[in-house]
A and B are shown apart, each in its own frame.
Chain A
Amino acid sequence: KQEVTQIPAALSVPEGENLVLNCSFTDSAIYNLQWFRQDPGKGLTSLLLIQSSQREQTSGRLNASLDKSSGRSTLYIAASQPGDSATYLCAVGPYSGANNLFFGTGTRLTVIP
């Protein structure tokens, strides 16, 4: 069964700093990997989706990379802002054998003004 791990569980940084969130998965046979943001008491907002054939995706200050062979993805946030404070989750879509995404438990990010 696919296992997804996100380290660290929590991270605090001063405003303006660049940061990297990590996601690792045990089975490299994935269809895609998706990064989400979750604000307290809210649902999940899709940030970036990387297909298995892609190495990275960019949206504004966010850049996500994928290395299937090593079972890792990173989410890079440039010039962090207090509004970036949220929990960030990665989810892996399997190629076959299951219809659901496998989620990590998230990294809770706090950007200090």
Chain B
Amino acid sequence: GAGVSQSPSNKVTEKGKDVELRCDPISGHTALYWYRQSLGQGLEFLIYFQGNSAPDKSGLPSDRFSAERTGGSVSTLTIQRTQQEDSAVYLCASSSDGALAGGTGELFFGEGSRLTVL
């Protein structure tokens, strides 16, 4: 597609429920990132995918968070047993190649998925 697409744009859920957030990166982009932006906070790195390499999960805050990327394209971020502190905007970004792959490393972001846990 023309840009990074994320869905849903808004999600309201009850505490304890599981949620799935989807990211469709720019076609041909091999690198994909998930970030979290809480109210009044900076962007918090969650996870990074590069091609077929093992993902960098170092930013995931707990084992309730997981992500996968199928076929090197679409990615899904899953939050199990949601808590109120999970409320945030979840942003996905893609890049034609990661910085460590020798590319420019320029990131393009989607509009985000706003998650509210009641």
> Quick check: B105 and A32 within 8 Å, CB to CB?
yes
Distance A16 CA – B105 CA, assembled complex (angstroms): 33
Q: Decide if B107 touches A101 in the complex (CB within 8 Å).
A: yes
| A69 interface residue (CB < 8 Å to B) | no
Bound Cα distance from A93 to B33, whole angstroms = 13
B71 within 8 A of A: no
Chain A 29-58 per-residue mask, 1 if CB under 8 angstroms from chain B, else 0: 001101010000111111001010000000
Does A100 make an interface contact (CB < 8 A)?
yes
- The answer, among B42, B50, B108, B111, for a CB contact under 8 Å with A99, is B50
Q: Are A105 and B112 in contact (CB-based, < 8 A)?
A: no
Chain A interface residue count, CB cutoff 8 Å, equals 26
Which residues B8-46 have CB closer than 8 A to chain A? 33, 35, 41-43, 45
Cβ B91 vs Cβ A43 within 8 A: yes
Which residues of B have CB within 8 Å of A59?
none
Q: Please, which residues of chain A bring their CB within 8 A of the CB of B45?
A: 100-101
Interfacial residues, chain B to chain A (CB-CB below 8 A): 4, 6, 33, 35, 41-43, 45, 48, 50, 56, 58-59, 91, 93, 98-100, 104-112, 114
9 closest cross-chain pairs (CB), A and B: A100-B45, A44-B109, A99-B48, A103-B43, A43-B109, A105-B42, A43-B111, A31-B99, A99-B56
